[in-house]
A and B are shown apart, each in its own frame.
Chain A
Amino acid sequence: MASHTITARTPGVFYRRPTPDAEPYVADGATVAEGDTLGLIEVMKTYREVKADAGGTVSRWLVENEDEVTIGQDLVELDT
């Protein structure tokens, strides 16, 4: 099985949930399709969705909810 890493396209603060009280966009081990939303990055008071650019199974998160991320930083690993 191959592995694919999704990276941050903008710097900011990473969130795994749409709102603080909501369930995460995807659970650990979940299967996602290309284009699915995996999280949000807050940049300058706006929110950008982090989309899966490939389908696969969520194998490992490389950042925590509310972590500060830089552009190009690895966010999550998928088994494809």
Chain B
Amino acid sequence: MTISSVLVANRGEIALRVIRACRELGLRSVAVYSDADAGAAHVRHADDAVHVGKSSAAKSYLDPDALLAAARSAGVDAVHPGYGFLSERASFARAVVDAGLVWVGPPAEVIERMGDKAAARAVAARAGVPVVPGSDELADDEAAVAAADGIGYPVLVKAAAGGGGRGIRPAGSDEELRRVVAEARREAASAFGSDVVYLERALAHPKHVEVQVLADAHGGVVHCFERDCSLQRRRQKVLEEAPAPRLDPAVRRAMCEAAVALAREVGYVGAGTVEFLLDGTEFFFIEMNTRIQVEHPVTELVTGLDLVALQLRVAAGEPLPVTQDDVTCRGAALEFRVNAEDPDDDFLPTPGEVTALDLPGGPGVRVDTAIAAGDVIPPFYDSLIGKLCVWAPDRDAALARGRRALAEYRVEGIPTTIPLHRRLLEDPAVVAGTYDITFLEGFA
């Protein structure tokens, strides 16, 4: 199977990123756009563009039928989903393949399996990858106490039907657990319509460390080292870096090997990310993202690989052009997510017109953005309007380069998260690399 043209089923900076990779590989790129994006950069840069619907995401970028119709009318032979939108919807991947097109991503069954929490944990267990110690679903209070003895306190009581951090309660002793389980069951019954709960070990101050993997359809799997994405607010990543600072080399090796084992176990193909919580030197699998990620450039900067080009080549059936020994990690890279949000007003979204824009440049600076001065940021999509990435031979130099580039980055017309990043780079915990996933919630 070869590919000569690609429908880029996304918008904004990631659509532009895929279009750039297509151009370098000699592939024709076809953009899609909603009403609000008619004049957008990804439309201007693609070889062709197809209108797919109204401004609301549900009626355009999230509409599988509209995207498939666009693929047919444009005569492409592959679909790249980017991240977000339909990138992890197994039914869309299947529909693309059923339409006789190449899906630039893992097989639909793999997306399905890794998207189901219990199934993904089972894959990890089969691959010998540790998961956060937890219980089965609990029949009663005494079963909870028995389970907690095996897991070790403190534990979290979680509603099986919950999600997004809802329905979670901590407990530190048998006595407290009996009370909390009773409360949690009552709350879960009214909030989620099911009183089924289970236990998980509570990790007080873990880091979020994730490993990039690449796999081809011929059994080749490599890791591309890790990223520390612990700086998160309400589960949204804000600043990422590679390699993870202060990570013990033996733990790094074990995490990277675990990610490769997991990718092999599930039959992965393409670019993917295996996410872990790191607690001291212990690490636990949390989930796998079966797509390219926002923060992929930091890995590109330290490895020199073009992950999006490799996605396309692997999707076309080529074997990976690199072995594990070819993949090296050099220097340090940071990514700052520039969002149309006001960090001084509870991160209120700030759609509107960018009246003036200065982008940073110079040595070791990469800016992935689809925004130009005069553009109006629509309210309908994600608030990410740019990714500033810096690379330097060591982490201290990368931090200095980040401060310099953030001083150059000027967006006028709407508040953005640039001032937050400037403050973060002055914080001792960020400078030292000791921050954990709770750090940003308390950062002013």
- How many Å from the CB of A21 to the closest CB on chain B? 13
Choose one: B55, B56, B340; the contact of A44 (CB below 8 Å): B340
Bound-state CA distance A75–B380 (Å) is 18
Known: A11-B379, A12-B379, A12-B380. A44 touches B54 (CB 8 A): no
Q: Mark A48-66, 1 if CB is under 8 A from B, else 0.
A: 0000000000000000001
Bound-state CA distance A45–B379 (Å) is 9
B380 touches A68 (CB 8 A): yes
Which residues, 22 to 71 on A, are CB-close (under 8 Å) to B? 42-46, 66, 68
A68 touches B340 (CB 8 A): no
Choose one: B341, B349, B380, B382; the contact of A13 (CB below 8 Å): B380
Known: A43-B379, A44-B340, A45-B382. A10 touches B349 (CB 8 A): yes
B351 lies within 8 A of chain A by Cβ: yes
Q: Which residues of A contact B54 (CB under 8 A)?
A: 68
B383 lies within 8 A of chain A by Cβ: yes
- How many Å from the CB of B149 to the closest CB on chain A? 40
Known: A10-B349, A11-B351. A45 touches B383 (CB 8 A): yes
Q: How many A-B contacts are there with CB distance less than 8 Å?
A: 33
Choose one: A10, A11, A44, A68; the contact of B383 (CB below 8 Å): A44
- How many Å from the CB of A71 to the closest CB on chain B? 8
Q: Which residues of A contact B351 (CB under 8 A)?
A: 10-12, 43-44
Q: Which residues of B contact A66 (CB under 8 A)?
A: 56
Q: Which residues of A contact B383 (CB under 8 A)?
A: 44-45
Q: Which residue of B lies closest to A45 (CB)?
A: B382
| Interface residues on chain B, number (Cβ under 8 Å) | 12
Q: Which residues of B contact A12 (CB under 8 A)?
A: 351, 379-380
Range of interface residues on chain A? 10 to 19
Q: Mark B44-55, 1 if CB is under 8 A from A, else 0.
A: 000000000011
- How many Å from the CB of B428 to the closest CB on chain A? 31
Q: Which residues of B contact A13 (CB under 8 A)?
A: 56, 379-380
Q: Which residues of A contact B55 (CB under 8 A)?
A: 68
Bound-state CA distance A76–B349 (Å) is 23
- How many Å from the CB of B340 to the closest CB on chain A? 7
Bound-state CA distance A46–B340 (Å) is 12
Q: Mark B339-364, 1 if CB is under 8 A from A, else 0.
A: 01100000001010000000000000
B56 touches A10 (CB 8 A): no
A46 touches B380 (CB 8 A): no
B349 touches A68 (CB 8 A): no
- How many Å from the CB of A6 to the closest CB on chain B? 18
Most buried by A among B340, B379, B381: B379
A43 touches B56 (CB 8 A): no
Which 8 interchain pairs have the tightest Cβ spacing? A44-B349, A11-B379, A44-B383, A12-B379, A43-B379, A43-B349, A13-B56, A68-B55
Known A-B contacts: A12-B351, A44-B349. Give 11 more (CB < 8 A).
Answer: A11-B379, A13-B379, A42-B380, A43-B351, A44-B340, A44-B379, A44-B380, A44-B383, A45-B381, A66-B56, A68-B380
24 A-B contacts, Cβ less than 8 Å apart? A10-B379, A11-B351, A11-B379, A12-B379, A12-B380, A13-B56, A13-B379, A13-B380, A42-B380, A43-B351, A43-B379, A44-B341, A44-B349, A44-B351, A44-B380, A44-B381, A44-B382, A44-B383, A45-B381, A45-B383, A46-B349, A66-B56, A68-B55, A68-B56
